[in-house]
Amino acid sequence: MENRKVRVRFAPSPTGPLHIGGVRTALYNYLFAKKNKGDMILRIEDTDQGRYVPGAEHYIIESLEWCGIRFDEGVHMGGPYGPYRQSDRKELYVTYVQTLIDNGSAYYAFDTSEELDALRKELEAKKLQFQYDTHTRNALKNSLTLSEEEVKRKIQNGQPYVVRIRMPEKKEIVVNDMIRGRVVVNTSIMDDKVLFKSDGMPTYHLANVVDDHLMKITHVIRGEEWLPSAPLHVFLYQCFGWESTMPEFAHLPLLLKPDGNGKLSKRDGDRLGFPVFPLRWTDPVSGEVSSGYRESGYFPEAFINMLAFLGWNPGTEKEIFTLQELTEAFSIDRISKSGAKYDQEKAKWFNQQYLRMKSNEEIAHLFMPLLTTKMLHPTMEYVIKVIGLIKERVSFISEIWDQSFFFFVAPEKYDEQTVKKRWKEETPAIMKEVGAILMSIEPFDKQVAHDAVMQHIETHNLGTGAVMNCLRLCIVGAAMGPDMFEIISMIGKEESLRRIEKAVQIIA
């Protein structure tokens, strides 16, 4: 293995939108490949034609591009080991399944699904479980029990069949997993899995082993759900005589629900109000729309940083990593064996950190379209100043308006709790006095304005909280926002006075 160039693959099935667990698998493959100066391949595993969903393959590619995960070869770009879509490699698998039949590692099975279902129900009634395996196959309709002539006749007559792996009796299969260590499974508990289906398509088990071998894959990094299949895959390498070039395996821990009970699903996202897909997805059959991280306002680099930490850690206190830094820090031995709980607040925190790192100019450009939809056309210079005052208060671009609207429009309503608590009989007169002070300052200077208002409060023994909270209510409409004199300086003293007069009229 030492002399082979590292080659990994991300091999999703186009059966719907890409779950964030799948994105994390792609990310870990990417980081491992790039850390080891290797290649990353995108292969589409569409052997299960019954579950194929139109648009899913395009969605997968667009999602990974948005995340910044780049490939060296793949279904969308070609390469020396193509085609990279399994349905385009259909003819190729026939040769390999024949190799297994010829060397006695696989056999034809003619049992219908109805016959197997009936057998399953019969055994269930006796509280037993049915498995097509070393114990049952000799009593079923297959090329191990039928004569060679009968098998040939059935195939020539077009009778449907599947090809099954022929598991040996009581053989120990060892899977050396890079995350979980040595896993030993006895074949006596394994079933004779279907390798080739009656529709002429291979199953995942055959196709992925053949493709990984032909594409010279050195490391298979995939989800924990494939760990039970790993002994079968190791056995297939042995059957083909490919043990010396068999890839190393790493089975990643599950992404768990926020409470840790079970695998994170779309329903959890719907229930708790967060996306579980990278991009918005519209189901082509039902029309149901599922939210995406991109449309929810997450930056791709924040999303990727958050995902990297769900199951891996760098062993330091540092949490903010660029993709390049993640690549340099990544190692398989720092991946956890146990599942990682999804934390919505932490996801928001990552986005907030990335927003804060962006320049005020960049954020202003991202915020401008929202102002345009509100028929507001401030100068870019003005918006940049506003961003500088409020960007520490938000986690998403979409939250900026709620934290800054008063820089662009006068309040239409006034927070009832603040009015009830702060607005007294003498407040209108005090507000008019403050307005007069602001108007008298020429040229306007926020520090001079601050000192003059504070002097007035002290001289008349008015109480800073009482005055400033009511002034904020007049200017902003609520007890929120940055420094009061910053706001007045930005919107101008004339606009400030208009707002004071309007508030005095409306609240009274």
pLDDT of amino acid 48: 86
Residue 452 belongs to a domain: yes
| 32 and 116 part of one domain | no
188-201 pLDDT, tens per residue? Answer: 999 999 999 988 89
> Looking at the predicted structure, is the pLDDT value of residue 159 above 60?
yes
| 280 and 412 part of one domain | no
Contact (CB, 8 A) for 281 and 289: yes
Question: What is the spatial distance between Cα 474 and Cα 483, in angstroms, rounded to a whole number?
Answer: 14
Residue 200 belongs to a domain: no
CATH number of the domain residue 445 falls in: 1.10.10.350
User: In which domain, by residue range, is 96 found?
Assistant: 91-178+181-194
> Looking at the predicted structure, is the pLDDT value of residue 142 above 80?
yes
What are the C-alpha distances in Å from 26 to residues 32, 66, 162, 220, 318?
10, 13, 32, 11, 23
Q: Enter the DSSP assignment of 111.
A: -
Q: Which of 324, 357, 390 is the last residue of a domain?
A: 357
358-376 pLDDT, tens per residue? Answer: 999 999 999 999 999 999 9
Identify each DSSP E strand in 180-292 by its residue range. Answer: 181-186, 194-196, 219-223, 248-252, 255-256, 281-282, 289-290
CATH number of the domain residue 173 falls in: 3.90.800.10
> Looking at the predicted structure, is the pLDDT value of residue 3 above 80?
no
490-504 pLDDT, tens per residue? Answer: 999 999 999 999 999
| 417 and 490 part of one domain | yes
Residue 2 belongs to a domain: no
CATH number of the domain residue 35 falls in: 3.40.50.620
266 is catalytic: yes
Complete DSSP assignment for 298-331: --HHHHHHHHHTSSB--SSS-----HHHHHHH--
Question: What is the spatial distance between Cα 305 and Cα 325, in angstroms, rounded to a whole number?
Answer: 10
| 364 and 352 part of one domain | no
CATH number of the domain residue 295 falls in: 1.10.1160.10
Contact (CB, 8 A) for 46 and 1: no
Residue 203 belongs to a domain: no
Q: Enter the DSSP assignment of 167.
A: P
| 481 and 503 part of one domain | yes
| 489 and 398 part of one domain | yes
> How many CB atoms neighbour CB 58 within 10 A?
11
Q: Which of 357, 373, 396 is the last residue of a domain?
A: 357
Residue 201 belongs to a domain: no
Averaged pLDDT score across all residues of the chain: 96
Residue 1 belongs to a domain: no
- Which contiguous run of DSSP H or E holds residue 9? strand 7-10
Question: What is the spatial distance between Cα 23 and Cα 474, in angstroms, rounded to a whole number?
Answer: 48
Backbone angles phi, psi at 89, to 5 degrees: -110, 10
| 499 and 468 part of one domain | yes
pLDDT of amino acid 315: 94
- In the chain, the number of structural domains is 4
Q: Which of 311, 326, 357 is the last residue of a domain?
A: 357
Question: What is the spatial distance between Cα 367 and Cα 439, in angstroms, rounded to a whole number?
Answer: 32
| 213 and 251 part of one domain | yes
Residue 80 belongs to a domain: no
| 383 and 338 part of one domain | no
Helix axes 493-507, 464-476, angle to 10 degrees: 100
> Looking at the predicted structure, is the pLDDT value of residue 20 above 90?
yes
| 62 and 97 part of one domain | no
- Per annotation, catalytic residue among 266, 346, 432, 502: 266
Question: What is the spatial distance between Cα 48 and Cα 197, in angstroms, rounded to a whole number?
Answer: 10
Q: How confident is the model at residue 2 (pLDDT cuts 50, 70, 90)?
A: low
49-106 pLDDT, tens per residue? Answer: 888 999 999 999 999 999 999 999 999 999 999 999 999 999 999 999 999 999 999 9
Residue listed under structure tokens 């070609």: 78
Identify each DSSP E strand in 331-378 by its residue range. Answer: 340-341
| 364 and 494 part of one domain | yes
| 160 and 44 part of one domain | no
- Average pLDDT of the residues in 264-292: 93
Residue 77 belongs to a domain: no
3-state SS record for 112-164: CHHHHHHHHHHHHHCCCCCCCCCCCHHHCCECCCCCHHHHHHHHHCCCCCEEE
> How many CB atoms neighbour CB 36 within 10 A?
16
Q: Please give the biggest Cα pair distance in the chain.
A: 112
Counting residues of the chain whose pLDDT is more than 90, the rounded percentage is 95
